[in-house]
Chains A and B, each alone.
Chain A
Amino acid sequence: MSPDRVPPDLDALDRRLRAVEFEPRASLGAELEGRARRGERALGAVSPLQSFAVRSALALVGIAATAALVVGVTPPPHHVDMCCQDLVGNQDANDGMVLNLDPRGRVTSMLLYEDLDGSKSRTTEDRVLFVRGSDIALDTAAHEDGHRTHVQCCEDLDGEGQADDGVLVMGHLPDQIHFAALIRNEGPHQVLR
């Protein structure tokens, strides 16, 4: 600490406080190292998946809109399939993202997946990690690595008088939650709110 001049009348208290020192338990460092090695995620962290997805979606929207303006024509609806990167931060570059865009270049839905079959594109063999868009189509089976997506529906969570709200939770068994969101049941479809 640099010698910032303490007023003389506060000097004694300043010295008393400087002498206060706590020591965390000796095992905390090793415990932390193990948690970091296992890739344990901090509770409030924004995952690379979230930040990358948002940045990518915005970039694609911009590119598509600019292209439409420059060319002067309206492109047809299309989708983009990008694979493979480490979107979940587990050191495996085997995650991909599918974006559906409308003719004006706006992203209408987004799907993140793990490329389980090594095809480097979205197939029915892949594990769906996240869907945002018209319908939710999630893999809710428990996986060997503990990954689990759970949907609990339906209750009246928003007080509108209809039991059409639910909760979507993604995480690892038994009790780690990485993502949670409210959903709404719309007939045969479930959409994120």
Chain B
Amino acid sequence: MNPTTRPTTQSPASETGPEQLCAGWYAAHGEAVYNYLRFQLLAPDEAEDLTAETFLRAVRAAHRFDPTRASAQTWLLTIARNVLIDHVRSARARRHVGLDELRDLAVDAPSPEERMLRREEVASVLDAMAGMSAEDREVLSLRFGGDLDIPEIAELLSVRAGTVRTRLWRALERLRERMK
């Protein structure tokens, strides 16, 4: 994710309507929320539905957002995490990622062959992640999908930064093993 586009903390103005609030938050943080969810879901449609659910919940709970306690992105990812937990409780068993389910992958490769290789590579990553524990998937998704750094993940999960670091490195090791 391009660091220059990293959204900044934004507090809801009381005079802002729900649609403006939703539009503003989505413009600033929609990509991070979507990518966090997408790293844990095998289909773009599911990730889009849960992204929408996340922002609708956020608008409803806007009065509870305190920018002095957490950034908007961390707060929104906390909501997304809860939305995902609710979804997983009722979701079907995970399945294999098909290449047609990667239509939302951002690929800059110039040739069709390179784009296909890129899709296959990402499909293998998501396949490997799908078989990992929920804890591993979560820390990887927050890091690489939600674009959070270790202190932010620690804040969101209410654990120490050292704990996150250990979880993250171990999750990466396990992911690497699964991809061999």
Contacts and interface: CB of A to CB of B under 8 A. Distances in A.
Interface of A: 1-2, 4, 6-7, 10, 13-14, 16-18, 20-25, 28-29, 31-37, 39-45, 47-48, 89
A77 B40 CA distance: 55
Interface in B101-148: 104-106, 121-122, 125, 140, 143-145, 147-148
A27 B86 CA distance: 25
Given A29-B23, A32-B52, A45-B61, A1 B147 contact: yes
Contacts of B173: 10
Contacts of B140: 17
Nearest to B54: A42
B156 interface: no
Contacts of A33: 19, 22-23, 26
A5 to B, nearest CB: 9
Contacts of A28: 26, 30, 34, 48, 51-52
Given A28-B30, A41-B56, A21 B35 contact: yes
B150 A2 contact: yes
Contacts of A22: 34-35, 38, 44, 47, 104-106, 145
Contacts of A24: 30-31, 34, 44, 47-48, 51, 104
Nearest to A3: B149
B17 interface: yes
A4 B82 CA distance: 26
Contacts of B176: 10, 13
Nearest to A11: B172
Contacts of B51: 24, 28
Nearest to A31: B52
B97 to A, nearest CB: 12
A44 B59 CA distance: 13
Contact of A17 (B22, B61, B86, B125): B125
Contacts, number: 123
B125 A20 contact: yes
Interface of B: 1, 3, 17-19, 21-23, 26-27, 30-31, 34-35, 38-39, 44, 47-48, 51-53, 55-57, 59-61, 82-83, 86, 104-106, 121-122, 125, 140, 143-145, 147-151, 165, 169, 172-173, 175-176, 179
A17 B144 contact: yes
Contacts of B17: 37
A66 B175 CA distance: 60
B157 to A, nearest CB: 15
Minimum-distance CB pairs A-B, first 8: A36-B22, A37-B19, A42-B56, A42-B57, A2-B149, A17-B144, A22-B38, A21-B106
A4 B150 contact: yes
A4 B104 contact: no
Contact of B55 (A16, A32, A37, A89): A32
Contacts of A44: 53, 57, 82-83, 86
Contacts of B121: 16
A10 B169 CA distance: 8
A22 B39 CA distance: 9
Contacts of B106: 21-23
